[in-house]
Structures are given as structure tokens and as C-alpha cells.
Amino acid sequence: MLRLEGTIANHDGVFEGAVLIDESTGLIDSIEARTGVSDLDTAGCLIFPGFGDIHIHAREDVSGQQCYKEDFATTSAAAVQGGVVQVADMPNNPTAPVDDARYAAKEQLTHKSAVHVTLYAGIGPTTRPLTRHVPYKAFMGPSVGDLFFRSQAELESAIEHYRGRNVSFHCEDPVILEASKGAPTHESRRPAVAEITATEFALYLIEKYELIGKLCHYSTGEGLKLIAAAKARGVRVTAEVTPHHLYFDDAMLTDENRLWLQMNPPLRSPADRIAMIEALRSGLIDYIATDHAPHTIAEKMQGVSGVPLLDTYGAFATWLMAEHGFTPEAIARVCAWNPGRFVKEFLPARFGLGFGKVAAGYIGSLSIVDMKTPWLVTREQMKTKCAWSPFEGVTFPGRVRYTVLEGRVHGEA
């Protein structure tokens, strides 16, 4: 039995205690009072339920074409450094998982990952639901890969077949993106109105086809009103926000960092950034999900969109606490509990009550975060295969000291 004592931070409360994990099942056996005996030194730390990043791009598929950027082994090493114990991987691969056979083939590849991987299946113009119960992803506008739609009508004719399913949407309207092609900057070629228009349509689809909907990497303050109104009338929708949309805005762009900080959707205004922080705090936004996009340094210099963020997941959470006053409970909610609820229905039965809470019966995977030791992020420390970070040079107020995976300890970082 692994015994860890310290300050335990769940979404519904913080307390002093001991967590006992049965290494043979990987599940939490019990929570007890502190006795002064702990298998790990957790002084100065918060013991969180393991963090979950439900939007990543690990880049590995059966074609192997993009394994030079990242694979399930390196993405999992980056996750462990970031305190992330479970991830959900997007389907925009060269051999996209859009049917049972391709999904099963990609799933085989995930076994080299130390952290649990849930796979999304892709929705394209001609796809149909899988036999298996899986989450789906629909890319509304052109991004990286081929799974996208040219119009709202084309998207709806595909979604009609997915009634009642769990579908995540990348909200950027393809017609507006096409019309904005000639604008001078990446940010103006992908304007906020593209996300807002796509949000209206995604919410319409979620309601009409009774989907369990999720809006990915949300970035516009204006669109939050639509999400709030939909939630208020009982639409089953949740929303993600990325670390980069919470930390950076378009007023911070310079000639030096512009290419590094290019992603879809792009950085927005300072007011949008603050609106995202407040929506995350209030519960209107449900998850911190990174959209981890491990493109190589050479690709970034050629203008490829996306940034790698798994290595810094937990350290970023300490910034939200120190800089923006997020409580440990709020961090547990958006980094562990809500992501755990999202993947629960797709987990194998041996995972008990699933991820997201330090309590008996849940998976014994924990993120032990040192709140007192600042971390200067450097390129050399990154475990992602693409080997860089948009946070290079940033000093976070804390970092992940240990990541525990089903009772097995990884660290000290």
C-alpha cells in the first residue's frame, strides 16, 4: 500500500489527511487521518487528484508519418512532467480514426503511454458513428489535417447521423475564415466573429440532435454569453480553455514571438483573455485543456499553427492560484474533477469510480504540486519530442513535484 500524507485538494474541499493506494488494483483504498508517516515528502505541496488534459494532439497513428513531432511515449513523458495522469487525443491524423477498425488500430499504439489515453473518433463529411461508445470531434473549419467542413450545411448533414453522441466542436466558421484570407495577420485572418458564428451553429446542432456537446479551446468573451444562455436553458454543453488563451493576448505579440505564438484559434484581445479567466473561475468554462500541438521548431518558423503545453500543465495551475487567486478547489475542479467526469463513460471497468477525486474507489493517480519552489521553464527541460515551449523564460510560482500513476510514483521532477 502506498501511503501519502499532506494537504489534499479536491473540488469540494481541502483537508489534511492520508491517502492509501492499493498498488495491485491502482485504486485508492481509503482516506485516513494523518499519523506523521508518509512514503513521499509532500511538505509545501498540495495533493491534487491527477490532472486530466482532455484535448491533446499526440501525433502518432498507424501511418507513423508524424512521429517525428511526437508519439505516445514522448507525449506521456511530457504529461507526467506536467502532473497530467490522463489525456484525450484528437483524431486529425493522416490515418484518421473514423471507423471501428482504424480506431482499434490507433488504440493499440497508446499502450506505450504511461498515462491513460482516451481517443476521440473523427467526424468528416462522409463518416458514421462507431459501434463502440467513444467521444467524437468535429472540426468546423480548416485547421491541421483533412477532417473539416466547407459549410454549415455540410456539417449538419454529417452530424444528423450522430444524434445523442458525445461530440466536441472546433468552433471557427469556414465561410468567415475563407472571406478573411487576405487579412494582414494570422489573428485577423481568423477573427473572433468566426468563433462566435460557429458557436451559434454548434449550440444549434447540440440542442437539435441532443448531443453531449463540448466547445474546444474557447477564446472569445462575446461567445461566452451564448454558452451561458445555452447552459441556462439546459443544453448539455461544456467548454474548454487553453493555458495560452489565459496567459497571452494579442497585445503581447512582437516580431520575435509572433510565429511561436501562432495557433488556431489565435490569441485574442486583453479583454477576451480576462473574460476567459473569469469564466473559468465562475464555472462557465469547465476545463483547462491544452490543445497540446507539438510541431517542430522548423515547422513553427514556417508558420505552422499550434503550441506544446503538456510539460507545463501543473506549473501553469500554480500561476492561476498565485496570480489570479484561484482556490485549490477551483483548480481541482477545472484540472481534475471535470476532465475526469468527461472521460468516465469511456474508461475500462477496472478504473472504478474513475479519475478526478482523492477518495476511496477512485483511481490512485495524483498530481503533487509544490507551491513553494518557482520553476524557470527552459527548452532543455521539455519532454515533448518537439522540444520547445511557449513558456520558455517564464518563471512559474510552483511546479509538479511528483506524479503518481495508479499507485506508482514518478518524479521528483
Contacts with Zn ion, residue ranges (CB under 5 A): 291
Residue nearest to Zn ion (CB): 291
Sign of torsion over alpha carbons 264, 268, 274, 279? negative
- Which CB sits closer to Zn ion, 272 or 291? 291
- Which CB sits closer to Zn ion, 61 or 291? 291
Least Cβ distance, residue 92 to Zn ion (angstroms): 8
Q: Could you give the C-alpha distances from 2 to 24, 154, 324, in angstroms and in order? A: 10, 53, 34
Enter the C-alpha cell of residue 135.
467521444
- Which CB sits closer to Zn ion, 217 or 333? 217
Does a cis peptide bond (omega within 30 degrees of 0) precede residue 265? yes
- Which CB sits closer to Zn ion, 20 or 289? 289
Burial 68-87 (b: 16+ CB within 10 A, else e): ebbbbbbbbbbbbbbbbbbb
Residue count (the chain): 413
Least Cβ distance, residue 213 to Zn ion (angstroms): 16
Residues 6+ apart with CB under 8 A from 269: 249, 250, 251
- Which CB sits closer to Zn ion, 71 or 291? 291
Least Cβ distance, residue 7 to Zn ion (angstroms): 34
Least Cβ distance, residue 362 to Zn ion (angstroms): 27
| DSSP character string of 58-111 | ----TT-TTTTT--HHHHHHHHHHTTEEEEEE---STT---SHHHHHHHHHHGG
Enter the C-alpha cell of residue 308.
506544446
Any idea what DSSP says for residue 21? Answer: E
Least Cβ distance, residue 123 to Zn ion (angstroms): 14
- d(C-alpha 359, C-alpha 311), whole Å: 26
Least Cβ distance, residue 236 to Zn ion (angstroms): 21
Least Cβ distance, residue 57 to Zn ion (angstroms): 6
393: left (phi over 0), alpha (psi -120 to 50) or beta: left
Least Cβ distance, residue 96 to Zn ion (angstroms): 13
SS3 for 209?
coil
- Which CB sits closer to Zn ion, 171 or 366? 171
Residues 6+ apart with CB under 8 A from 403: 50, 80, 81, 83, 84, 85, 365, 366, 367, 368, 409, 410, 411
Enter the C-alpha cell of residue 177.
475564415
- d(C-alpha 216, C-alpha 219), whole Å: 9
- Which CB sits closer to Zn ion, 139 or 375? 139
Least Cβ distance, residue 350 to Zn ion (angstroms): 29
Does a cis peptide bond (omega within 30 degrees of 0) precede residue 256? no
Pairing outcome for strands 366-370 and 45-49: antiparallel
- Which CB sits closer to Zn ion, 173 or 291? 291
- d(C-alpha 285, C-alpha 255), whole Å: 31
Enter the C-alpha cell of residue 19.
491517502
- Helix/strand number for the chain, H first, E second: 13, 18
- Which CB sits closer to Zn ion, 149 or 351? 149
Least Cβ distance, residue 300 to Zn ion (angstroms): 16
- Which CB sits closer to Zn ion, 291 or 311? 291
- Which CB sits closer to Zn ion, 291 or 406? 291
Least Cβ distance, residue 218 to Zn ion (angstroms): 12
